[in-house]
Amino acid sequence: MLLPLLLPLALATAGLAQSPGCGKDIPSKFPSPGESTTLHLPGTDREYRLYIPTTYDKNTPTALYFSFHGATQNMSYEENLSQFSKPFFNKGGIAIYPNSKNGYWLSNPNANTSRPNDLDFTNDLLTHMEELLCIDKKRVYSAGKSNGGGFTAVIACNATVGSRFAAFASVSGAYYNTDDIPGVGPCQPAEREEGYPFLEFHGTMDTTAPIDGNTKSNPKLPVIDILEGWAARNGCGPGSKWARNETVFQDPLVKHASWGCAGKRAIVQHYRESEIGHCWPSTLGNGDFKQHPSQCPLGNYVFNATEYIFDFFAGYHL
């Protein structure tokens, strides 16, 4: 579990925000509680995987967690990688794993930008879930790996879609300049009192999405630029430095930085991981460690990013 000083400041408990799906039986095409299955968003050719927990109650508003796959990967790989369907990490929430159009999400130069685009799909998919299942509209969250982590940041930047999500997390995020990308544009989230909680994990050995960015083909932005950008949007001011920067593991070395902005303690957080590259940190290992041993040479890692993500999300709601 996270050390107490790393936990975000939990917001005061507010009333649950029931979705229109509350009181309805689970649709027959949906998975039974405790299982996941692949589905299509009606009226489109877009796929997603859906997990419903064994504890699901049609009359109790339930948290919803989105998990977006990396470039050239898919929803099934992401389910196995992030493990949002495992009760060990996910204590009773619904998990959803969208599939991209062509293996890439908006912001990646190879993504299909035609409308309806990935932001439209995410918005429509969230509405679809809220209409058919009992979702707590105040507890909807987004996370992703690599291009999926970058797309999570794109969601947060969108005033329409991002305003429906309570908090965001990115693992080994690939961040591109979106200013001139059709349907994306500059980062302009809607103003809201709750702010935009953002958690980021990155390995210093990452050669796919380097922590300091790159200027080669499809240039990627430095992670510090992304973090300072979210700090500024949360009220810290441009170029603000972290409030804390601490060592949480010595071998391998893991540093944890956090920004507290406008009374929002640790609303932006970052884990800088040594001896690991473009991988989802896990104490047991996962598909990243098996497929990319040169980037994940240890075979596993000293913490579970998924556990930290759920701890972070638990501190925030709309």
- Please tell me the predicted confidence (pLDDT) of residue 7: 47
The answer to whether the bond into 281 is cis (omega within 30° of 0) is no
Sheet of 244-250, strand order: 35-40, 47-52, 94-98, 62-68, 135-145, 167-171, 198-203, 264-273, 253-261, 244-250
Give the rounded percent of residues in the chain with a pLDDT score beyond 90.
86
- How many angstroms separate the CA atoms of 257 and 259, rounded? 7
| Element of type H or E holding 49 | strand 47-52
Give the rounded percent of residues in the chain with a pLDDT score beyond 70.
95
| Element of type H or E holding 74 | none
In the predicted model, is pLDDT for residue 1 greater than 60?
Answer: no
What's the mean pLDDT in 51-73? 97
User: DSSP letter at 140?
Assistant: E
Give the residue from 245, 282, 266, 261 showing the smallest Cα distance to 314: 266
In which band, very low, low, confident or very high, does the pLDDT at 15 lie, cut at 50, 70 and 90? low
Q: Is 186 left (phi over 0), alpha (psi -120 to 50) or beta?
A: beta
In the predicted model, is pLDDT for residue 11 greater than 70?
Answer: no
- How many angstroms separate the CA atoms of 300 and 298, rounded? 5
Amino acid at 272: R
Q: What is the widest separation between alpha-carbon atoms in the chain?
A: 52
In the predicted model, is pLDDT for residue 5 greater than 90?
Answer: no
H helical segments located in the chain: 75-82, 118-132, 147-157, 223-231, 287-291, 305-313
Measured CA to CA in angstroms, residue 88 lies from 46, 83, 93 at distances of 29, 9, 11
In which band, very low, low, confident or very high, does the pLDDT at 13 lie, cut at 50, 70 and 90? very low
User: Taking the chain, what is the end-to-end CA distance rounded to the nearest angstrom?
Assistant: 24
In the predicted model, is pLDDT for residue 14 greater than 70?
Answer: no
CB 258 within 8 A of CB 243: yes
Enumerate domains of the chain plus CATH numbers. 21-197+205-238 (3.40.50.1820)
Torsion of CA 156, 265, 303, 66, to 10 degrees: -20
Please write the tens of the pLDDT for every residue from 210-263: 999 998 777 899 999 999 999 999 998 877 889 899 999 999 999 999 999 888
Give the residue from 203, 54, 66 showing the smallest Cα distance to 124: 66
Average pLDDT in the chain:
93
- Please tell me the predicted confidence (pLDDT) of residue 25: 98
In which band, very low, low, confident or very high, does the pLDDT at 55 lie, cut at 50, 70 and 90? very high
Give the residue from 19, 16, 39 showing the smallest Cα distance to 27: 39
Residue 154 sits at φ, ψ, to 5 deg, of -60, -40
Please write the tens of the pLDDT for every residue from 109-162: 999 999 999 999 999 999 999 999 999 999 999 999 999 999 999 999 999 999
- Give the pair of three-digit tokens for residue 187: 């980062």
Residue 198 sits at φ, ψ, to 5 deg, of -140, 125
